[in-house]
Amino acid sequence: MQDQAWVAHAPRSGVSFATTTAVEGEGTPSDPQATGPQDRPELADVGRLVRRGVRGVVAAARAGEVTTLTSILREHLGTDSAGMPVVEESWPAYEHVNVQAGVDAWLAATGAEVKVVGIVGFQHRPFGLGDLLAQEARDPYGPRPGNVARLNLPCGPDGEVRACVRCALYLVTDGPTRTVLLLRGAEPESGIGQVTVQVVSTDPTRGPEAAREIRAATIERNVFRGHVLSFAQEMFGHGQTALHFHRRPTLTAEQLILPTQTIAAVERQVVGVAEHKAALLAAGQHLKRGLLLYGPPGVGKTHTVRYLTASLHGTTVLQLSGDALHLIGEACSVARTLAPSMVIIEDVDLIAEDRGMHPGQHPLLFQLLNEMDGLAEDADVVFVLTTNRADLLEPALAARPGRVDQAIELHLPDAEGRRALVELYRGGLALPDGAADDVVRRTEGVTASFLKELLRRAALVAGDRLPTVSADDLTTALDELLETRNAMTRTLLGGGAPGSGPSVPEG
Ligand SMILES: Nc1ncnc2c1ncn2[C@@H]1O[C@H](COP(=O)(O)OP(=O)(O)O)[C@@H](O)[C@H]1O
Ligand SMILES: [Mg+2]
C-alpha cells in the first residue's frame, strides 16, 4: 500500500519537476525488468516508477497543458484575443534605454498591476504579439516563457546604467482592462534593427492610446537630454550606432584666451540666442543657427567648443567626429527632439573631402547642409562646425547660404594673447621678472597650444627646482621647441619659426 502511495504521489511531485530541465534528460529506455510480470513494486523499483510517472506528466503537459506564451496571453486577455489589433511603436537601436525609461514611467503612471514575463528563445526570430496570440508555439526552441533577460545600458556620464529588458511581456491589469506590452530590443545580428513595443488590449481604444503615451514618455524621460554625447559607429556591433556619454567639461572664460571681440561674437551667436530665446521668438526671429570656427591647428577651435559646452548647462550636446560623420541624420533627429541642443561637428573639412560618385560632389556635406536646412526655424538647435580648411568648405557654403550664419576666424595669438597664455599656462610655476616678456618676444607666430607645451617643457627642464623655473629653463625649452630638429613637433603643434610668420600646416 505504501508503495502504491509512492507511485500515486509521483505525478503530483513531478509537476514541479516537469518545468525544470532535469526532466528533459529523462530519455533512457525503461528497464525491461520493470515492465516484467511483477506482483507488487519493490523498493528498488520506486526510482523507475517515479521516472515513469514524471514522463507521463511531461507527455501530458506537452500535449497541451504546458505553459506557453500563447496560453499566458490567452489567460490574461481572454480566449477571444486572437483577433485583437496589435499596435507597434519602433525606435532606432540606440534608443533602447529611453524606451525602457518610457515604458517604466508609463507603467508607474497607470498605477495598474503589472506582471513581467520573460521570454527565452527569442534570438534570431522575428515574431510579434500577433504571432503569439494566433497560435500555440510548437517549436520547442522558439520563444517561450523564461527568465527576464536584461541588458545594462549607459544612462549617464559617470558609468550609470539602467537594466533594460531584451525581450519580455508586460501583463497589465487595470480594473477590467487587460493590456499586454511586448518590449524587444534591437538585435542587429538577426537583422532586427529597431527597438519595438507592441501593444494589445481588451479595450480597443487603449492599445493605440498606450502606444502614443509610451512614445511620449520615452521623449519625456529621455536619459540623453541635457547631457554631452557623442555618436559613434560600433566597430564590433554590426555597424550599430551608439551614443556615448561624456562628462561636461568645466572651462571658465579665464581659460579661453581670445580677443574680446572674438569671444563676444561666439557667445552672442551661441549663448546669447539661447538666453534671449523667448524675446527672439516673440519678435519672429529664428533660433536655429550655425557657427563655423576656422583657423590653423592649435589656436583653440576645440577649446572654444569645450568652453561653449561648459557654458551651456542643461543643453544637450551632440558631438560628431571622425567615422561617425555619416550619422548626421540621426544626430539632427536627436538634437531636434532634445532641444535646446548643440550639434558639434569638428573638422568638418573631412566631410567636404568625402567625394561622391561624381567629381565635385560632397554627399555628406550636402546632407549636413540639408539637415541644417530641414530643422524648423524655431528649433533651439545650434550647429558649431570647426575646420582648419575653410577654403575647402567655402564653395559649398557659398552655394547654400543661410545654413552657417556666422564664420569666425581664430587667429594665432598676438603679443597680448601670448602674454595671457603664458600667464594662464604658467599655473603654479614661479617665473622670474621679465621672463614672460622674453617668451612673448620670441614666439611671434606660434599657436596657443605651442605656448602651453612650452611651459610644460620648461617645468620639466627645471625638474628638482620646481616650482621655480629660471629664465634659462625657459630659454632651453623654447630653443628645443623652435629648433629645426623639432620641425616635426612644430608641425604637430602648429608653431612657426620666429620671424617666418604664421605657418599653417596642411590638413
Ligand atoms: N585660445 C586658447 N586659449 C587657451 N588655451 C588654448 C587656446 N587655444 C588652444 N589652447 C590650448 O591648446 C590646446 C589645443 O588647442 P585646440 O583647441 O585643440 O586647437 P584646434 O582645435 O584649433 O586645433 C587646447 O586644449 C588648449 O589647452
Ligand atoms: Mg581641434
Give the pLDDT confidence of 137-179 residue by residue, as tens digits: 567 788 999 999 999 999 999 999 999 999 999 999 999 999 9
Q: What is the pLDDT of residue 404?
A: 87
Give strand ranges (E) for 185-303: 194-201, 228-233, 241-246, 289-294
d(CA 425, ligand 1 centre) in Å: 11
Q: What is the pLDDT of residue 221?
A: 98
**CB-based contacts of 206, cutoff 8 Å, min separation 6:** 177, 179
- Rank 78-87, 127-136, 452-461 by mean pLDDT and report only the highest: 452-461
Model pTM score: 0.81
d(CA 461, ligand 2 centre) in Å: 28
The H-or-E segment that residue 306 falls in is helix 301-311
Q: What are the φ/ψ torsions at residue 184 (nearest 5 degrees)?
A: -140, 130
Residue type, 261: Q
| Rounded CA separation 130/83 (Å) | 8
Q: Which CATH architecture has domain 245-409?
A: 3-Layer(aba) Sandwich (3.40)
Name the pLDDT band for 362 (thresholds 50, 70, 90).
low
Name the pLDDT band for 367 (thresholds 50, 70, 90).
confident
Nearest ligand 1 atom to the CA of 258 is 1
Which of 503, 167, 64 is CA-nearest to residue 493? 503
Domain limits of the chain?
Answer: 2-65, 70-220, 245-409, 415-493
Percent of the chain with pLDDT over 70: 79
Report the residue among 252, 303, 388 best suited for mutation to probe ligand 1: largest number of ligand atoms under 8 A from its CB. Answer: 303
Q: Is the per-residue pLDDT at 41 higher than 70?
A: no
In the CATH scheme, what is the code of domain 415-493?
1.10.8.60
Q: What is the pLDDT of residue 172?
A: 98
| Rounded CA separation 116/450 (Å) | 59
49 vs 400, which has greater pLDDT?
Answer: 400
Averaged pLDDT, 208-235:
94
Considering every ligand atom, which ligand is closest to the CA of 297?
Answer: 1
Closest residue to atom 16 of ligand 1, CA basis: 300
DSSP reduced 3-state for 225: coil
Residue showing cell 568648405? 393
Considering every ligand atom, which ligand is closest to the CA of 293?
Answer: 1
Residue showing cell 608653431? 495
Q: What is the pLDDT of residue 140?
A: 78
Name the pLDDT band for 235 (thresholds 50, 70, 90).
low
Ligand 1 binding residues, C-beta < 6 A: 256-258, 297-303, 421, 448-449, 452
Picking from 72-76, 179-183, 207-211, 388-392, which range would have the lowest pLDDT averaged per residue?
388-392
DSSP reduced 3-state for 28: coil
Closest residue to atom 24 of ligand 1, CA basis: 303
Q: Express the helix, strand and coil content of the chain in percent, nearest 5 each.
A: 50, 20, 35
d(CA 297, ligand 1 centre) in Å: 8
DSSP reduced 3-state for 376: coil
| Cell numbers placing 326 | 555619416
Residues 59-100 have pLDDT tens digits of 555 555 678 999 999 999 997 888 899 999 999 999 999 999
Name the pLDDT band for 490 (thresholds 50, 70, 90).
low
Contact by Cβ (8 Å): 503, 445: yes
- What are the beta bridge partners of residue 79? none
| Rounded CA separation 401/235 (Å) | 36
d(CA 348, ligand 2 centre) in Å: 10
